[in-house]
Structure 1
C-alpha cells in the first residue's frame, strides 16, 4: 500500500513513458518487436494515472498533455516527413497511405496510455481531445506540406484512367479517405484541397476532348462518347471518390460535353436532332433525351426542334392535300381530304410514340407536340377547315357501305384517334355542327353502319369536350329509337283502323326540333296521294299527344315510285320533291317550267335543282326542251317513256347542296349567344370590371370550344350595353358595370 504514497517525478515518469512510445514506434516501423502485453499496457496506463493524481505541485497533467503532442511532433520530424520527401507520384501516395495508417494506430495506442487525461483533465478544461491533438499534428505537419503534391498525383492517375490506362483504384480510394478523415468530421479539406481542383481539371480535360469530338464525330457518335464518359465518371465516384462529389462532377462533365456544344451538336448538318427525327433514329433520340434531361433547361432546345420538325411535317401534308385538290389528282368526292386526315392520324401516332418512348412521356414534349399539331390542324386544307374534314372523315368511317372496310376494333381505335386530334382544333363548335349535320343524314337515311359505334364516338366526344357539346347528338340518337317505337305504334293504329289506310307504305320519323340541325321547311303543294298520307298520320299523332305540333320537313323525305316505261317498269328511289315533280306527269304529258313551279309552289332554286336532276343528269326520266344542260324558266318538260336502264331499281340523286355556308352561319349565331352568356355570367359575379379583364376572362371561358374574335367580343359588349345589361362608368369609359 505504501507505493501509492511514492511521488513519481516528471523526468522519471516520462522516461518510462518514452520507452513505451519507442517500442510502439518500432512496431509501427515494422522492426522486430513483440506486441504489447497486457501487463506492459497496465504499467504505462498506471504511470500516467499516478502522475496525474498526485497532489500539487506533483500533478503533471498539463506537462503530460504537452509531451503527448511532442511525441507526435518528434516522430513526424524524424520518421514521417523524410520518408515522404524522398518519394514522388504514386510511390509517395503509397507512403502517405502507410504513414496515415501508422499515425492513426499511434494515436489509438497513445490515447489508451494517456486515457486518464481525456477522462478528467481535458474534459474539465475543455481542451482538444487526445485523438484530435494526434490528428491535428499530422494535418499541420504532414498534410499541409504534401496536399498539393497528393492532389496532383491523384488527378494525374485519374486522367491516366480516363485515357484507358489501368490504375490502382484501391490506392486512390485510401488517399481520398485521408482528405475526408483529416477534416475530422468536416468536408472542407476534401472539398477545397481536392474536389475543387479535380473539378477544374475535369472541366479542362473534357473541354479539350469535346472541342475535338464536336468536329470529328457525328451527333450519335458524340452522344455515345458523352454517355460513356458520364457513366465512367459515375463509376469513379462509386469506386474511389467521395459520394458527395457525384452531382458536381457530373455537372461539370455535362457542361463541357453537352451544354457548351448544345447548338452545334443538335444542329449538325447531316446527323443533328432534325436528321435523327427525319430518319426515325429512335435509339439516338432516346440517348439524347437521357443526356439532356439531367441538365437544367437542357431539353428546351430539343423539344423546340421536335416541335418545329413535327410542324414542318404537318405543313407538308397540308401542302400535298392542297396540291392534290387543285390538280384533281385523285377523283372520288373528297377522298383526298380523307387521305389527309388519315396521314395526320399516322403522323400523330408516330410522334406520340416518340413522346412516350424516346422522351419518357415528358410534359415538355407533350406540350411541343400539342403546339405543333395546333398550327397545321387549324389550317384551311383544300378549301375546307380541319373541323369539317374531321367530321367528314368520321362520316366516312361510320357510314354504311363506306369505302373504309374496317373491323370493329379498327373503327373504335380510329375514332379514338380522331377525338384526340380534335383536342388540337380551336373551332370545336364548328366540328360539332358539321358532325351533327352528317350524323343526321346517317340516322335519317339509315346510312349508319352501327348504333354502337355512333354511341361510342359520342361518349368519347363527351369525355373530351363535355356534356354540353354532345347533348344534342345524344338526343338525336335517342330520337331515332323513339321514332322506331312511334312507327310501330302507327302500324298498330293502321291495323286497328283499316279505313284510315293511306293507300301506300308510309314511314314517318318524328324528331325533337331542339336536337337536330335546322332544315328549310317549305310550303310544297303535295300530290293528292301524299296529302292523304299526311292527314292519316296527323290523326294518328293526335291520339298519342295533344301538346306537340308537327312541322313537316319534306326536303328530308324519300319515295319509292314505279316508273312505267315502254321498255320495262323501273322502281325509282327519289326525294319527296322529285316524286312530287314526277307525279305531275301522271295527268300531263308536257309541262312548262312555270307550270311546274306554280303547281308545286316552290322557289326558283328548288325547281331548277329538281328539274336538273331529272332531265340533265345521269338518268333522264324527263325530256327537256331545248335539250341542253341548263334549266331556264322558258324550258318545257315531258315524260321520257323510252327511258330504260339495266337495273330494275335505281336511285336518282339530287345535285349536292353546299351546306358549308349554312353551318358556318349557324355556328356564328351560336357563338354570339355564347359570348353574350359568358359576358353576362362574368359581370354578374364581378359587378364591375375593366374592358381588358372582361375580354381576357371571356376568352378564357370560351376557348375550350372556340377562339373568340376580339372584335366580336367588343361588338357583343356594345350590344349588351344597348340592351341594358351593362353600362359604361361615367368617369372611366374602359370600366363596365353590371345592371341587375
Structure 2
C-alpha cells in the first residue's frame, strides 16, 4: 500500500483560508450560505491531518499562529473601519454587533481548529482558541474603542438621570463586553468604566444637592433623595454589574445625605424637630431609612428626638407646677388636700404615660425599634421624670397615681382591662425613675392603707401590679408588699378561727368585734398609742387575747389608730350609721354619759396626746360633718374649747364616713428611705471590700454606685461618710502608705 502524501502548509492553509473567507462573508451579511456537515468535517479533518503528520510536516505551531492572525486581519480590515465611522449610541450598537459577530467567528473557528485545543495547546500550556479570539478583540478593538464607548454610556446614563428614556438593553449589552474581555476578572469593567461612572455620579448629585437644599423643604428633599437612591438601585438591577451597587449608592448617599445632613435636619419649619412637633410620622420614617444608610447618620436624628421628648416632658412639668401653685394660692388657708394627689398631679402622671405611649410608637414604627432611639427615649424620660413637680417627687406622684387607680372610689373610672393596661405602662415608666426605693416606700404605705381599711377595688389588680413590679425591679423590691397581701389573707383566716372559738366556748360580746393580726416585719412602722377604750371594746380585746394566747407565744401589740368602728348615732331627725376610726368612736361614746365635755376632759378620758386629741376633735367638730358642737364656734381647736353632741345633725345619707385629717407622711417616708439607704450603702461597701480585700477609694465608690444604681443614685458625699463610719466601726482600715487605699478587716 502506497504511503499517504503529507499536506504542505500553504496547500492546507489555502483550503482553510477559503473556509475562513466564507465565514467572514456570512458575518458581514454578504452570503446567506451556511456551513453544512460535510464542509465542517472537511475543514476539521484538514487541521487534524496537518497536526498529526510526522515532522517536519507537523504544522501545529504554524496553524496556531495563523489562527490568531486570521482574527487580526479581519479586525483590521473590517471591524475597526466600521467602528470608526460611528459615534455615541450608533457606535455602541455597531460595537455590540461586531462583538456578537466576533464571538460567532471564535465559536466556528475554534471548532475547525479544535484538535489544537485538545493536544497542542494543552501540551504547551498556551491560551485556548477561545481565549486567543477574546484577546485579539480586547487588544485590537476594545482598547481602541473603550474610551468612546465609556463616554457614550455615561452620556446615556446622565440623560436617563435627567428624565429621558434610553435603551437600557444596549447599555447592558455593551457593559457585558467590558466584563467578558476581562476573561474572568473585573479589572476592565472597574478600571475602564466603573471608576468613571462613580466620578460622574458624584459630580451629578453634587450639583443636584446644592440646588435642592436651597429650594426644597426637608420632606421634599428627602423624597427626591429616596427616589434617586431607588433609581440608582434600579440601574444596577437593569444594566450595571451587581458589584457596582454599594459603591454607586455610597456616592449618592455621600453627596445627597452626608454632605447636607446638618442643614437638612436643622431646616427651619421643616427639619427633624418640626417633623416631630407636627407628628409627621411618614417623613420621620423616611428620614430614618435615609440616614441609616450613612455611617453614624442616625446619631444626630436620635439627639434631636431626645431633645424634643425632653422638651415635651419639661413643658408638662412646668404646666403642672404652675397650675398646682395657682391652685395653692387660691386655696391658701382652706386646709390640706387629699392624700391621693391633686387633679393636676394625677393628670401629670396620666400625661407622662400618654407621652411614653406616643413616642414609644415613634421608636417602634418610625425608627424600627432600634436600640439607639430606645436609649434616647430613656434618657429623655429620665431627665424630666426625676424633676420635682409642684414640690413633689415623681416617685410619690406615681405611688399616688397607683393608689388612686387601685382604691375604691378613685377618680380613675376605668374598666378592668384599661386598669391592667395602665398598670403595665406605669410600671414601665418606673424604669425611668432613679429613686425607685422612694416609690417603694410611698407605694407600700398606700398599699397598707388600702388593705387595712378595705379600700382596694380588686385583689387581682393588687397582685397584678406586684407581679409586674417584681419582674421590673426584682423579688426583693416586692417581698414585703407580697407579705402584706398574704398576711391579710391569713388574718381573715385567724378571724374566722376566733369566731369559731367563741362559738365552741359559748363566748359572746355586746358588739361585733373583728381583729386583724399582722406580721410587724412586712408592714410600715406605726405608733402604738395607749387609748382608753370603752368597756365594750375592752371586753373584745381581752377575749381575743385569751383566744390568741392559747398555744401561741407571740406578743400582740394593739394599733388602735388603724381600727375602724361603725356606730349608730340617734339624732333628733333620725338614726345615722357613722363609720369612724377607733379614736373617733371612743371620743363620741364619751357623750353617752355627759352632755358636754371640755378639751382637757376628753384628752384625759381617752389618754390621748395633744396632737391626736386635736385631730380627732377637728374631724368631728370642724370638718364636713359636724357631729359635735364646739364653743366657741370656729374652725380652730383650742385647749379651752367645750364640746357637746349635735343632736340636730342630719344627712341625706343613711351611712356617712368621717375621716381623720390626713397626716403628711412625706417627711416620715423620706426619713425612712434615707435610713434604709445608709444601710444599703454600708452593705454594698462591706460586700465589695470582702470580695476585693484592698481597693482604692475611687474604685470602691464606683463599684458601690454600680451596685445600688438599680434602686437609687447614691450621693458621693454620703458614700464617703459611710466609709468613714465603717472605718470607725473597724470594718475597714486605711492603708498606712496610701490613705486613699482601704483594706478589709475580717
TM-score, normalised on structure 2?
0.95
Q: Please give the alpha-carbon distance, in whole angstroms, between the structure 2 residues aligned to 1:84 and 1:344.
A: 74
Pair 1:699-2:698 in alignment: no
1:38-78, Cα deviation, whole Å (9 max, x unpaired): 22222222222232233333332222222222111111111
Pair 1:651-2:650 in alignment: no
Pair 1:600-2:606 in alignment: yes
Pair 1:479-2:478 in alignment: no
In structure 2, the CA distance between the partners of 1:566 and 1:39, relative to structure 1 (3 Å rule), is closer
- Map 1:135-174 onto structure 2 (within 5 A): 135-174=134-173
User: Contact between 2:6 and 2:57, CA under 8 Å: does it hold in 1?
Assistant: yes
**Which residue in the other structure is 2:334 paired with?**
none
Q: Please give the alpha-carbon distance, in whole angstroms, between the structure 1 residues aligned to 2:32 and 2:593.
A: 141
**Which residue in the other structure is 1:357 paired with?**
365
Aligned length: 736
* Aligned counterpart for 1:581 among listed residues 578, 587, 598: 587
1:342-383, Cα deviation, whole Å (9 max, x unpaired): 111111111111111122212222111111111111111121
Pair 1:204-2:210 in alignment: no
- Map 1:104-119 onto structure 2 (within 5 A): 104-119=103-118
**Which residue in the other structure is 2:259 paired with?**
260
Task: Tell me the CA shift for residue 420 of structure 1.
Answer: 1.0
Task: Tell me the CA shift for residue 665 of structure 1.
Answer: 1.2
* Aligned counterpart for 1:535 among listed residues 521, 525, 542: 542
Deviates more, 1:212-221 or 1:527-536: 527-536
1:200-246, Cα deviation, whole Å (9 max, x unpaired): 11111111111111222222221111111111111111111111111
Task: Tell me the CA shift for residue 191 of structure 1.
Answer: 1.0
1:103-156, Cα deviation, whole Å (9 max, x unpaired): 111122222222222222222222222222211111112111111111111011
Pair 1:120-2:125 in alignment: no
Q: Please give the alpha-carbon distance, in whole angstroms, between the structure 2 residues aligned to 1:129 and 1:233.
A: 38
1:73-110, Cα deviation, whole Å (9 max, x unpaired): 11111111111111000000001101111111112222
Task: Tell me the CA shift for residue 567 of structure 1.
Answer: 5.0
* Aligned counterpart for 1:393 among listed residues 379, 397, 401: 401
Task: Tell me the CA shift for residue 327 of structure 1.
Answer: 0.6
| DSSP-derived class of the 2:55 partner | coil
**Which residue in the other structure is 2:725 paired with?**
719
**Which residue in the other structure is 1:507 paired with?**
514
User: Contact between 2:345 and 2:397, CA under 8 Å: does it hold in 1?
Assistant: yes
User: Contact between 1:621 and 1:643, CA under 8 Å: does it hold in 2?
Assistant: no
User: Contact between 2:272 and 2:284, CA under 8 Å: does it hold in 1?
Assistant: yes
| DSSP-derived class of the 1:674 partner | helix
**Which residue in the other structure is 1:297 paired with?**
296
Q: Please give the alpha-carbon distance, in whole angstroms, between the structure 1 residues aligned to 2:504 and 2:61.
A: 128
Task: Tell me the CA shift for residue 453 of structure 1.
Answer: 0.9
1:652-696, Cα deviation, whole Å (9 max, x unpaired): 221111001111111111122222222222222222222222222
Pair 1:345-2:344 in alignment: no
**Which residue in the other structure is 1:560 paired with?**
566
Task: Tell me the CA shift for residue 587 of structure 1.
Answer: 4.1
Task: Tell me the CA shift for residue 460 of structure 1.
Answer: 1.1
Q: Please give the alpha-carbon distance, in whole angstroms, between the structure 2 residues aligned to 1:643 and 1:637.
A: 18
Task: Tell me the CA shift for residue 457 of structure 1.
Answer: 0.9
Pair 1:466-2:474 in alignment: yes
User: Contact between 2:561 and 2:581, CA under 8 Å: does it hold in 1?
Assistant: yes
**Which residue in the other structure is 1:621 paired with?**
627
Task: Tell me the CA shift for residue 556 of structure 1.
Answer: 0.8
User: Contact between 1:566 and 1:641, CA under 8 Å: does it hold in 2?
Assistant: no
Deviates more, 1:513-522 or 1:327-336: 327-336
Task: Tell me the CA shift for residue 25 of structure 1.
Answer: 1.1
| DSSP-derived class of the 1:515 partner | coil
Pair 1:690-2:689 in alignment: no
| DSSP-derived class of the 1:7 partner | coil
CA RMSD of aligned residues (A): 2.0
Deviates more, 1:376-385 or 1:327-336: 327-336
Q: Please give the alpha-carbon distance, in whole angstroms, between the structure 2 residues aligned to 1:106 and 1:565.
A: 123
**Which residue in the other structure is 1:440 paired with?**
448
Task: Tell me the CA shift for residue 584 of structure 1.
Answer: 3.5
Q: Please give the alpha-carbon distance, in whole angstroms, between the structure 2 residues aligned to 1:247 and 1:203.
A: 14
**What residue ranges of structure 2 are gaps of 5+ in the alignment?**
332-336
* Aligned counterpart for 2:460 among listed residues 452, 457, 472: 452
* Aligned counterpart for 1:732 among listed residues 712, 727, 738: 738
Task: Tell me the CA shift for residue 413 of structure 1.
Answer: 0.9
Task: Tell me the CA shift for residue 724 of structure 1.
Answer: 2.3
- Map 1:86-101 onto structure 2 (within 5 A): 86-101=85-100
1:244-290, Cα deviation, whole Å (9 max, x unpaired): 11111112112211221111211121211121111111221222222
User: Contact between 1:501 and 1:536, CA under 8 Å: does it hold in 2?
Assistant: no
TM-score, normalised on structure 1?
0.96
User: Contact between 2:632 and 2:642, CA under 8 Å: does it hold in 1?
Assistant: no
